[in-house]
Amino acid sequence: MPHSGSCLCGQTKIEVGGDSFTSQIVCHCTDCRQTSGSAFSTNILAPQKNVTISGPVKEYTIKAASGNPVTRIFCGNCGSAISHKSVFFGEAQAIQTGNFADFSKLPIGTELFVKDRWTGLGPIDGAAQVQAMP
């Protein structure tokens, strides 16, 4: 069953195939915070071959804390964060799950960059705690 989502304005559509998603990833890194405009971002890693993004998109590439380039994909109209790619992910890409209603019930399995987690936000029960990316 494909998962379908869209950006805030609805012009950029995202479809992710597959039902193998058992948990989400929360990332507290500075780039994800700035991209989401919040204290963290929520994501899944999906094989690029199972992802379709249509509509107006723009890309921005920056060097991440890992030293690898990360390409951020966002709606070219409203600016909603859609996805990001990195060599670290191999043939997968991170998909921002806030654009999908059906991921709201999927548990959080991992928290990344917990060294940068905002004070006052505690660890998520049951989620693996990763200080930073290798």
20-42 tens-digit pLDDT: 788 999 999 999 999 999 999 99
The answer to whether position 134 is within a domain reads no
pTM (two decimals): 0.90
Q: pLDDT tens-digit profile of 71-117?
A: 999 999 999 999 999 998 899 999 999 999 988 889 999 999 999 99
pLDDT score for 131: 92
Is there a contact between 80 and 8 (Cβ–Cβ < 8 Å)?
yes
C-alpha distance from residue 104 to each of 54, 76, 111 (Å):
22, 25, 16
**What totals of helices (H) and strands (E) does the chain contain, helices first?**
1, 11
The answer to whether position 34 is within a domain reads yes
Question: What is the domain range of residue 41?
Answer: 3-129
pLDDT score for 134: 64
The answer to whether position 57 is within a domain reads yes
CATH of the domain at 83: 2.170.150.70
pLDDT score for 78: 97
Q: Does 66 have pLDDT greater than 70?
A: yes
The answer to whether position 11 is within a domain reads yes
Measured CA to CA, the distance from residue 106 to residue 93 in angstroms comes to: 18
pLDDT score for 21: 83
Q: What is the mean pLDDT of residues 53-69?
A: 91
Measured CA to CA, the distance from residue 124 to residue 126 in angstroms comes to: 6
Q: Name the domain count of the chain.
A: 1
Q: What is the mean pLDDT of residues 125-134?
A: 89
The answer to whether position 67 is within a domain reads yes
Measured CA to CA, the distance from residue 134 to residue 51 in angstroms comes to: 26
